[in-house]
Structure 1
Amino acid sequence: MRGNLAIGIDYGTESGRVLIVDVRDGRVLGSHVTAYPHGVMDDTLPGGGTRLGTNWALQHPDDYIEVLRRSVPEALRMSGASAEDVIGIGIDFTACTMLPVDAFDIPLCFKDEWRDRPNAWVKLWKHHAAQEDADRLNEIAVSRGESFLSRYGGSLSSEWMLPKISQTLREDPDVYEAADRFVEAADWVVAQMTGTLRRSSCAAGYKGNWHKAEGYPSRDFLKAADPRLETLAETKLRGEVVASGTKSGELTGEMARLIGLKPGIPVAAAIIDAHAAVPGAGIVAPGTMVLAMGTSLCHMIIADTEQPVEGIRGIVEDGIIPGYYGYEAGQPAVGDLFAWFVEHAVPAYVREEADREGISVFEWLGRGASRLAPAESGLLALDWWNGNRSVLASESLSGLIVGYTLHTKPEEVYRALLEATAFGTRRIVGAFEESGIRVDAIAANGGIPQRNPLLMQIYADVTGKKVYIPAAEQATALGSAMMGAVAATAAGGGYDSIAEAAAVMAPPVKKTYEPIERNVRLYEELYREYVALHDYFGRGASGVMRSLRKLKERAAGGAADA
């Protein structure tokens, strides 16, 4: 190889990370993180003028370029290597994180006439204000018997491309008309680097309802949703769709100068952040479920065949590893759920005691929770603080804790929340196994699995599966670097396939959690009660959670009118 470095760029919810990786052995030589200057905008637009409604989550597109400006040169400096050694660049991103652009791929929110219009900004993956649109699209698709729904568990999510576009059209048709295209932020960043906008098959397939053989949903379906949407696919969703890991273009001279690299470096088509963790963990064959665990949790597995799975959030041919069908399910609140508890529900004395001992609140809670046996807290929780993605596919559901008494302690609540996310994962594993997709083991990636051994042991005990923790803490960025190494093949370097790159660059297993038999038995009983609550509140026996959400929205709307 003429050079030996690949760059992996991981765009998360709050920040972006750049990794410099030696393609000869997968060693990380440099790493740097840039927090998004504008963060997640869920209250007002920049400048504090225009207020946002309930369940909005927006971002500023320049924050993504700031990651390139700051972190690429700094990570390269930390690696001690030369820009001449970089042979390829790969990018992973949250999805569906989308924005409207003009005919020159300039975000509408950059323009004075649109900067005060919320729908002109980036809608982050966890923007849920399009639920009304998702519900309506689902009703139309079901009534028409649309076959594409079977690849998405029978429903579209408000987090996805079509509902978010529909919301824009419904709320601000002027923005819709002004948009030349709606694009994934991942594809926009690659376009800024290469000068050409192409769409990643990963994001298009999982979040845009694109199919390798059929394309996007039909004109008839889109017209039934709204006559103005009839030509959406060939107009505002137009663009070549390319597979992740393939070369999307080459680094332009302008961008090379901005970020301290050489022009002409191959840039791979983007991949969804969670999906990059699959090759990043060395998983390139069926049987192992990969958990990409952060603020949310994405469950991915590859299989030889396409099978319907309850609550699946996407089945895409070649969507993760070429030659296999890639399956995705998920839970929309894991790290976010734990953070909510620490930030908003922990009493002052916990913070005081943690400060006195010089440890974090998470450490304090974890220490107390680890002293408890399964079921000892007397609590049981549903993990729906940000809705349910799989298997119920409803953002209208909300969290629940049963079993509070006057003696309940914070560490008991914390353990119940840890267990709730594990129960949610077990329900997803069960859906796969009921459909004939085998799940032999689990590989967990991200900072949480590295830092929280109690949580990982709970996952092993609740699921009854071995849980592997890869040595690479940043498996998503490493997977993106692998994509960059594969894209470099066209320029005479890199690897011919993702499997070939993973065989050399994937990390070893750092730790394995084996199920503890006594805990497995106790959790079996507790899980039965979880399923009873799951089905009662989630499958229609009680609609109280959805009713509360509607009442909240009506009350908030009334307050705004007043």
Structure 2
Amino acid sequence: MAFYLGIDIGTSASKGVLIDDRCNIVCQASCGHETDNPRDGWYQHDAEAVWWGDFCRLSRELVVRSGVNAAQIGCVGLSALGCDCVPVDTECNALAPAILYGVDARSKPQIDELLSEYGPDRARELFGHDPCSSDIAPKILWFKENMPEVHERAAKFLTASSFLCAKLTGRFTVDRYLAEDFLPLYDRYTWKVDARECARFCRPDQMAEVMSATDIAGVITQRAAEATGLVAGTPVLVGTGDSGAEAISTGVFRPGDMMVQLGSTAYFIYLADHMVDDARLWPGTFIIPGTYGICAGTNTAGALTSWLRQELYRDAVEAEGHGGPDAYSVMAHDAADVAPGADGLLCLPYFAGERTPLNDPEARGVFFGLTGRHTRAHMVRAALEGVAYTVASHVDIIEREHGLPIGRIMLVGGGTKNPIWMQAIADVCGREVSVAKVTVGACFGDAIMAALAGGAYTSWDELARVLGVAQTIVPDMTAHELYASRRHIFDELYTRNRDLMHELV
């Protein structure tokens, strides 16, 4: 029997699974890590310690704990947080801390510079949307302007999955799904480096080779085998972003399917059968041939509940440390005792700026409507509902503005452990949402892509039959009507206060 390994590196934690050829989980493991926040608006990782360190730790643990002979692992799949950038030398050693995805706003001056230089219409044409903090080209420009020696020395500028693949195989690659985050440095039709556009940012030779996520990039080198506990010669996929892999893990394979990932941030992928033009979002190709993805993302979700836990539930955190209940479960229990609508309290969850559809790194979080009767439980409930409102805004753009059918919404990520949050999303959107049978996340998507590439399955359709739905949450339409009546207040809180938010920055 063959086995397949999948490992995903996330913002605050990494996970891995080992599955058999029927997609049954044989063993799983996880580990946490810190995200450095050295300055306001800066979020970064030590790529060697966090990305590579976690991969090696998890691969070794999975092989040892499972008892599986590493020689039986038929293929390795991998993913990691996307839209990030790390400069590396020819041996794939990181030359500086990796700048993370859209939550990191340090490249705003470079984005403003590009908008001024290109003009909004040309910039939109080149980037495929309004340039934002999720784009990698402005991050490369930031290195050029702020760390010129590192920029010059860099052999490649990589995203996290590319970094891991290069560490494992010695080959510098990036999948098409993530290559779009590098626009305009690649020609989106040929996926070759666009030397003319690239010149503004870096040398053409500093760009990785574009392949498909499920292509075999190469095999485990002897050096990587010693670090990971895997066997030299084991095939390795090119890999992809964590959100794409997470969508795959839920069975989001067909046009009309939508994934809502509730992690540190929220990320959305809607599958269409054609390219959609919307500068507010991130339309592009998807991992599965013949499908296109409308991607979008917020800057906070679980990160907001983590902040509430640390600041308002220190007693529960302390009790948890002494053997008491998990602090998050205490928060969820409190939120469950508050009626939908949080007794008139609204939360704008823009605690780290906001990505889509606002694309405003200077947006700020707001609790609106506080009175003396509100408690910390109301604030938790309002925060969960605030994220649910942002989910609904993306559903409306896809369905009402573009006229695209949404067949099903699959929820995934750590937020699915909170039934109040899932119910709030169903109620605010006014539609059913479902949870997959396997909720491990992106690492499971990596493993099943490895199984497909490794020959355990012959097609995506065959693979889809193995996956299924564990739970469907039905909306409470009375609650939906309440939320709908307050939707305009949520929307206008930002538009009316945007200028004031910017004055605070």
* TM-score range relative to shorter protein: over 0.9
Asked whether the 8 Å contact 1:380–1:401 carries over to 2, the reply is yes
On the 8 A contact 1:279/1:499 being kept in 2, the answer is no
Matching residue's letter, 1:452? N
The aligned counterpart of 1:281 is 250
Aligned equivalent of 1:545, options 495, 501, 504:
501
Aligned alpha-carbon RMSD (Å): 2.3
Shift of 1:334: 0.1
Asked if 1:315 is matched to 2:283, the reply is yes
Matches within 5 A, 1:428-439: 428-433=394-399, 434-439=401-406
TM-score by length of 1: 0.84
Within 5 Å, give how 1:71-470 maps onto structure 2: 71-108=58-95, 120-125=96-101, 126-143=103-120, 145-146=122-123, 148-149=125-126, 151-152=128-129, 155-209=130-184, 210-213=186-189, 215=191, 226=200, 229=201, 232=202, 234-237=204-207, 239-309=208-278, 311-312=280-281, 314-317=282-285, 319-346=286-313, 358-433=324-399, 434-449=401-416, 451-470=417-436
CA contact (8 A) 2:362 2:501 kept: yes
- Aligned to 1:8, what secondary structure does the other structure show? strand
The amino acid that maps onto 1:178 is R
Which secondary structure does the structure 2 equivalent of 1:284 belong to? Answer: coil
1:512 is displaced (CA, Å) by: 0.8
Tell me the alpha carbon deviations over residues 239-267 of structure 1, each in whole angstroms, 9 at most, x when there is no partner.
32001111111111222233222222111
Task: Report how far residue 11 of structure 1 moved.
Answer: 0.6
How far 1:97 moved relative to its partner?
A: 2.2
| Equivalent residue in structure 2 for 1:500, among 462, 484, 497 | 462
Counterpart in the other structure of 2:18? 20
Alignment of 1:36-51 (within 5 A): 36=33, 39-43=34-38
CA 376–339 in structure 1, closer or farther in 2 if over 3 Å, else same: closer
In structure 2, the partner of 1:67 is 54
Aligned to 1:48: none
1:299-355: CA deviation from partner (whole Å, max 9, x where unpaired): 00111111223521x2222x2321111120111100001111111244x66668888
Q: Single out whichever of 99-108 and 287-296 deviates more from structure 2.
A: 99-108
Report the secondary structure of 1:248's partner residue: strand
Alignment: residue pair count: 501
Q: Does 1:511 align with 2:467?
A: no
Provide the secondary structure at the position in 1 that maps to 2:5: strand
Q: Distance in 1 between matches of 2:158 and 2:392?
A: 34
Q: What is the distance in 2 between the residues matched to 1:54 and 1:378?
A: 31
- Secondary structure at 1:104's aligned position in 2? coil
Call closer, same or farther: CA 1:521–1:76 in 2, change over 3 Å: same
CA contact (8 A) 1:202 1:320 kept: yes
Change (3 A) 1:28 1:353: closer
In structure 2, the CA distance between the partners of 1:355 and 1:166, relative to structure 1 (3 Å rule), is closer
Report the Cα offset of residue 33 of structure 1. Answer: 1.7
Q: 1:393 to 1:268 in 2, by over 3 A?
A: same
How many percent of aligned residue pairs carry the same amino acid?
25
TM-score (norm 2): 0.93
Per-residue deviation, residues 273-302 of structure 1 (Å, max 9, x unmatched) = 011112211121011210121101110011
Contact 2:28 2:62 in 1 (8 A): yes
Q: Compared with structure 1, are the counterparts of its residues 405 and 350 closer, same or farther at alpha carbon in structure 2 (3 Å cutoff)?
A: farther
Change (3 A) 1:429 1:97: same
Alignment deviations for residues 160-194 of structure 1 (CA, whole Å, 9 cap, x no partner): 21111111111122221121221112112111111
What is the one-letter code of the residue matched to 1:241?
A: V
8 Å Cα contact 1:141-1:149 kept in structure 2: no
CA contact (8 A) 1:149 1:156 kept: no
Aligned to 1:465, the other structure's residue is in SS state coil
CA distance in structure 2 between the aligned counterparts of 1:203 and 1:83, rounded to whole angstroms: 29
Give the aligned residue type for 1:7.
L
CA distance in 2, matches of 1:9, 1:350: 32
2:463, 2:394 → 1: CA distance? Answer: 29
Asked if the contact 2:114/2:123 (under 8 Å) is kept, the reply is no
Q: Which runs of 5+ in 1 are unaligned?
A: 44-52, 109-119, 550-562
Unmatched segments (≥5 aa) in structure 2? none
* Cα distance change of structure 1 residues 477 and 351 upon mapping to structure 2, 3 Å threshold: closer
Residue equivalent to 1:556: none
Residue 443 of structure 1 contacts residue 468 of structure 1 at CA under 8 Å; is this kept in 2? Answer: yes
From the superposition, tell whether residues 107 and 350 of structure 1 become closer, same or farther in structure 2 (CA, over 3 Å): closer
**Which structure: larger Rg?**
1
1:31 and 1:328 map into 2 onto residues whose CA distance is 28
CA distance in 2, matches of 1:285, 1:360: 37
Shift in Å, 1:545: 0.9
User: How many Å separate the matches in 1 of 2:441 and 2:316?
Assistant: 33
8 Å contact 1:92–1:271 — kept in the other structure? yes
Assess if the C-alpha contact under 8 Å between 1:250 and 1:267 holds in 2: yes
CA contact (8 A) 2:353 2:364 kept: yes
Q: Aligned equivalents of 1:259 and 1:375: distance in 2?
A: 49
Quick check: 1:57 aligned with 2:6? no
Using the TM superposition, give the Cα deviation of residue 521 of structure 1 relative to its aligned residue in structure 2, in angstroms: 0.9
Provide the rounded CA distance (Å) in 2 between the counterparts of 1:267 and 1:356: 43
Q: How far off its partner does 1:400 sit? A: 0.8
The aligned amino acid for 2:499 is G
Q: More displaced, 212-221 or 374-383?
A: 212-221
Alpha-carbon distance change, 146 to 54 in structure 1, aligned in 2, over 3 angstroms: closer
